Structure 1
Amino acid sequence: MSVSVRVPTILRSYTGGDSEVSAEGATLAEVLDDLDASYAGIRARILDDNGKLRRFVNVYVGDEDVRFLDDLATPTPDGVKVSVIPAVAGG
């Protein structure tokens, strides 16, 4: 299933500057695997060494935070938008 992935500015060096790319997969984990196959190294910026979402990276499938769904097993229906959003801290 083809999905659209919105890439934050900080990760666009992996996508040649593209702010949105396409990836395939029935789940978020499969989408990230496909994304990494096309843009080597990007998955390591989203997942930690244990294969879990990094603490300061938020990922949405549609409008839903995957941490409140099925995390990496969240289904990614054809045509859905996946958004990778780094957390911002400050005061």
Structure 2
Amino acid sequence: MSVTVKIPTPLRALTKGEDAVQAQGATVAEVIADLERRYPGFADRVLDGKGVRRFVNIYIGEDDIRFLDGLKSATPDGATLAIIPAVAGG
């Protein structure tokens, strides 16, 4: 499946400044693996040993994958996947 991945500013150095890229994969995990093949180091910035990093949110459309099937969540053809770093402050 081909999806559009919105790239947050902190990760754009890996995608040569692109704010959105096309990726292939039937699940979020497969999409991230495709991005890692094309942009080495991408997965390390999004994932840790337990799955998605604590301060990274991933959405398929408007659905947070934490409330779907996590990295196993399906990515339908034409979907938009947004990677959003959490923001903290006070």
Provide the TM-score with structure 1 as the length reference. 0.97
Root-mean-square deviation over aligned CA pairs = 0.6
Structure 1 segments, 4+ long, off by >2 Å, are none
Q: Which residue of 1 aligns with 2:4?
A: 4
Shift of the 3–70 alpha-carbon distance from structure 1 to 2, 3 Å rule, reads same
Structure that is richer in strand per residue = 2
1:51, distance to aligned residue in structure 2 (A)? 4.8
Segments of 5+ residues of structure 2 without an aligned counterpart are: none
Number of aligned residues? 90
Segments of 5+ residues of structure 1 without an aligned counterpart are: none
CA distance in 1, matches of 2:32, 2:11: 13
Provide the TM-score with structure 2 as the length reference. 0.98
Over the matched positions of the two proteins, sequence identity in percent amounts to 54
Q: Which residue of 1 aligns with 2:38?
A: 38
CA distance in 2, matches of 1:63, 1:30: 19
